[in-house]
Amino acid sequence: MKWKLGLVGAALLTIGGVAHAQSSVTIYGLMDLFVGRMGTLPGANSATRPVQVLNGGGLSTSYLGFRGREDLGDGAYAAFELSTFIRADTGALGRSDALGPPTNLGGDGFFSRTSWVGIGHARYGSLRFGNVTTLMFINSLSANAFGASTTFSPMNLVMFVGGPLSGGTAWNNQIVYDSPSLGGLSFSVAGALPEGQGKRNLGAAVFYRTGDLYAGLAWQDVKKTPLTFADGTSFSQTKSWLLSGTYDFKWAKVHANLGAIKDGGLLAAPADRDHRLWSLSVSIPVGAGQILAGYASRKTGDVVPPVPPTAPGGNFSRRVASVGYDYFFSKRTDVYAIAMNDHTVTTTLPAPPRNVSASATSFGIGLRHAF
């Protein structure tokens, strides 16, 4: 009997020790909805018609997430993060359902926003494994008055939505190393294993943050073939780089980006097309909020393959301008009003190919709450 009681006591002590060592888990999220008229998404085309909408994701795509971290002692730690996109206007998860021809891509997975586990040390940096936001997207939103918006941000629209860039904003099957910050300077390197989806992806970035200054340089080489919307919607092999910078003058915070996308075409049909892009945006404090304004341009001087005149995004050039006001009721709740003009030039079929210009104006009034 004493022997059995001893085993029970030891088991209880063990369970208690494990429970004490478990990570504390934080539930977090954000809801963003806007009402307005969208003349374009993901890019103006000759068939563009304004649509009145109540949509999610004006300034931020809505999401729900869980994150945790455990102290392993002597500066070491283990961590994880799981988060899912939410279409707040319908309650559906993800950003998109399965897409039909010609892409035939599956929809977003449950934890398609982030899904990783990692280990790190205060002196040596960290390793993360799983579905992780790309270094290119992190650099872009770090120097962008409109943040992570893929609805009204000129920079994000010309770079990530409806254009030649492949790989989307996060990579599955990814390994990421993040260095510690040394005097404000840090770097990250990343690789995504192919797992039967063509070839691997590679990425690298250098970041510098100190006081009112941010500077970043990101590079990536994408060769994986997408299977789902979360993998991006372009089947092209692309190499790209983006130089970004931000400076806070107090009366205004200025953001600038300069970059390029080399479209290598399909694995079975290689190409060599260079797209150049740049953007400038600013946030100006006014009252309890801030004025937001931005402009971005992407164009190519190379010959591009003709597409139907209804193709979104502009395969020859795209210019986007946005202006708005974001008012903060508190640190977690704000209301915004934004107007945007999207202009594209597309080389279209039928023969002979000709350049068709299209322009659309959109506006929205939205409410955003973080928790």
pTM over 0.75: yes
Q: Tell me, yes or no, whether 13 lies in a domain.
A: no
Q: Tell me, yes or no, whether 176 lies in a domain.
A: yes
- Residues 26-69: tens digit of each pLDDT: 999 999 999 999 998 789 998 888 999 999 999 999 999 999 99
Q: Tell me, yes or no, whether 309 lies in a domain.
A: yes
CATH code of the domain in which 108 resides:
2.40.160.10
Which residue range(s) make up the domain with 318? Answer: 31-370
Nearest to 129 by CA among 75, 86, 79: 79
Q: Tell me, yes or no, whether 11 lies in a domain.
A: no
Rounded percentage of the chain residues whose pLDDT exceeds 90: 82
Q: Which amino acid is at 341?
A: N
Q: Tell me, yes or no, whether 263 lies in a domain.
A: yes
Sign of the Cα torsion 307, 301, 360, 148 reads: positive
Please give the pLDDT value at position 162. 87
| 6: pLDDT strictly greater than 80 | no
The answer to whether the CB of 65 falls within 8 A of the CB of 84 is: yes
> Please, how many CA atoms are within 13 Å of residue 103, restricted to the half-sphere of its CB?
20
What's the structural domain count of the chain?
Answer: 1
Beta bridge partners of 121: 76, 125
- Residues 164-209: tens digit of each pLDDT: 999 999 999 999 999 999 999 999 999 999 999 999 999 999 999 9
- Residues 263-309: tens digit of each pLDDT: 999 988 999 999 999 999 999 999 999 999 999 999 999 999 898 88
Q: Tell me, yes or no, whether 4 lies in a domain.
A: no
Q: Tell me, yes or no, whether 1 lies in a domain.
A: no
Better-scored residue on pLDDT, 369 or 234: 369
Q: Tell me, yes or no, whether 62 lies in a domain.
A: yes
Please give the pLDDT value at position 173. 97
Beta bridge partners of 360: 342
Beta bridge partners of 277: 259, 298
* Secondary structure E strands in the chain: 24-38, 51-56, 63-73, 76-87, 92-93, 114-121, 125-133, 170-178, 185-192, 201-210, 213-222, 238-248, 253-265, 270-286, 289-300, 317-328, 333-348, 354-370
